[in-house]
Amino acid sequence: MMFELLQKLINENFDEFKVALTHSSYINENSANKDIQSNERLEYLGDSVISYVVSDYLYKNYPDLQEGDLSKIRSEIVNQRSLSNYSKSLQLGNYLILGKGEEVSNGRNKTSTLCNLFESVVGYISITLGLEQTSKYLIDLFKDKIDEIYTNKSYFDSKSLLQEKLQEIGEELPEYVSETLEDASFLVKLYVNKEFISQGRGRKKVEAEKIAAKKALSKYNNLKNDD
């Protein structure tokens, strides 16, 4: 559904749609051309639209959940890694308009760039089709993942679950070591007993920590299953 819409926009209305695909690096390298603009304003709009649509869907369809759990499920969908994966599944990176420097540095495959690209495309669709239609496209894209998260209860805080698991098996509590990357996102490495276990990346440090904790939790659960 969303894929077909994007193909239509690309094939039939590319001159207008390309603003959603234009990275700031391209603008910086073509500053003399005042007729082009980056997708940053659309990214800002799309970020808000996605958060609202997911919040509204969860509120209406999961009346048994309290505010805290609704927020946790939303964060599993509306985060940098998740949105970048949707961007990949829709093959949006193939159409990204980048500057030469960003292209050389593998910018087309950066998690943060793909996340921002997805947000800008949603921003464009919301202006073009309206919020109601945009919501239908997004929910069609998200609903299976939301149902999986709810059914598996994977929205529970992975850091807390990991701490409980480590205490259960008599291990020390995890240590999170973070660094800020060039794109202002965070890389967090997780250690237990000074041994590297996993790592995660995210727009926010806490997001990266949760991703690393979820990966570590999966490892420890698998070890238990192998016993």
Asked if 203 and 140 sit in the same domain, the reply is no
DSSP helix/strand/coil, 207: helix
- pLDDT score at 175: 96
Asked if 166 and 103 sit in the same domain, the reply is no
Q: In the annotation, is 119 catalytic?
A: yes
Give the active site residue among 43, 76, 102, 119.
Answer: 119
Q: In the annotation, is 47 catalytic?
A: yes
Residue type at position 130:
G
Residue 222, CB-side half-sphere exposure with 13 Å CA sphere: 6
Q: How many structural domains is the chain composed of?
A: 2
Closest CA relative to residue 181, chosen from 127, 106, 129, 128: 106
Closest CA relative to residue 210, chosen from 63, 47, 71, 62: 71
Q: Is the pTM of this model over 0.85?
A: no
Domain that residue 126 falls in: 2-152
Asked if 87 and 109 sit in the same domain, the reply is yes
Residue type at position 19:
V
For 212, phi then psi, to 5°, come to -65, -40
Across the beta sheet with 175-180, the strand order is 175-180, 186-192, 195-202
Where a domain ends, among 119, 136, 152?
Answer: 152
- Cα-based torsion angle of the residue sequence 55, 144, 80, 176 in order, rounded to the nearest 10 degrees: 100
Asked if 105 and 145 sit in the same domain, the reply is yes
Where a domain ends, among 103, 120, 152?
Answer: 152
What is the spatial distance between Cα 125 and Cα 101, in angstroms, rounded to a whole number?
Answer: 29
CA distances in angstroms from 76 to 34, 103, 178, listed in the order given: 39, 29, 21
Give the active site residue among 47, 76, 207, 209.
Answer: 47
- pLDDT score at 223: 66
Q: For the residues of 6-39, what is the DSSP string, one character each?
A: HHHHHHHSHHHHGGGGB-HHHHHHTTT-TT---S
Asked if 114 and 148 sit in the same domain, the reply is yes
- pLDDT score at 227: 47
Q: For the residues of 78-94, what is the DSSP string, one character each?
A: SSHHHHHHHHHHTTGGG
pLDDT tens, residue order, the chain (227 aa): 999 999 999 999 999 999 999 999 988 888 777 778 899 999 999 999 999 999 999 999 999 999 988 998 998 899 888 999 999 999 999 999 998 888 888 888 888 899 999 999 999 999 999 999 999 999 999 999 999 888 877 677 788 889 888 988 889 999 999 999 988 899 999 999 999 999 999 988 988 998 999 899 888 877 655 44
